[in-house]
Homo-oligomer: A and B are copies of this chain.
Amino acid sequence: MTRKPLDTGADLRELVERLYPLCRSITGDGVRATLEILGEHIPLDVHEVPTGTQVLDWTVPQEWNIRDAWVKDPAGRKVVDFRESNLHVVGYSVPVAETMPLAALREHLHTLPEQPSLVPYRTSYYSPTWGFCLAQDTLDALPDGDYEVRIESTLDDGHLTYAEHVVPGEVTDEVLVSCHTCHPSLANDNLAGIAVAAALAQRLAAGKPHFTYRFLFMPGTIGAITWLARNTERLGKVKAGVVLACAGDPGSLTYKRSRRGDAEIDKVLEFVLSGKPHKILDFSPYGYDERQFCSPGFNLGVGSLTRTPYAGYPEYHTSADNLDFVSTEAMEDTLATLGEAFSVLDRNRRYVNLSPYGEPQLGKRGLYDSLGGRSDAKAAQMAMLWVLNLSDGEHSLLDVAQRSGLPFDSVVAAAHALQGAGLLKE
Q: Which residues of A contact B (CB under 8 A)?
A: 56-58, 90-91, 120-127, 129, 221, 224-225, 228-229, 232, 259, 282, 284-286, 291-292, 294-299, 311, 316-317, 353, 355-361, 363-364, 370-375, 377, 382, 385-386, 388-392, 403-404
Contacts and interface: CB of A to CB of B under 8 A. Distances in A.
B57 A121 contact: no
A221 B124 contact: no
Contacts of A296: 353, 356, 388-392
B359 A221 contact: yes
Main secondary structure of the interface of A (DSSP, over half): loop
Nearest to A405: B284
A285 B386 contact: yes
A360 B359 CA distance: 53
A28 to B, nearest CB: 15
A297 B363 contact: no
30 contacts: A56-B355, A56-B358, A57-B359, A57-B360, A58-B361, A90-B371, A91-B373, A122-B372, A123-B372, A123-B373, A124-B370, A126-B364, A127-B371, A224-B358, A229-B358, A259-B389, A282-B403, A284-B404, A285-B389, A286-B377, A291-B359, A291-B385, A294-B389, A295-B356, A295-B359, A295-B388, A296-B353, A296-B388, A311-B375, A316-B375
B372 A295 contact: no
Nearest first, the 4 A-B pairs at minimum CB distance are A297-B356, A127-B370, A285-B389, A311-B375
Contacts of A389: 259, 285, 291, 294-296
A353 B297 contact: yes
Contact of A371 (B123, B375, B385, B391): B123
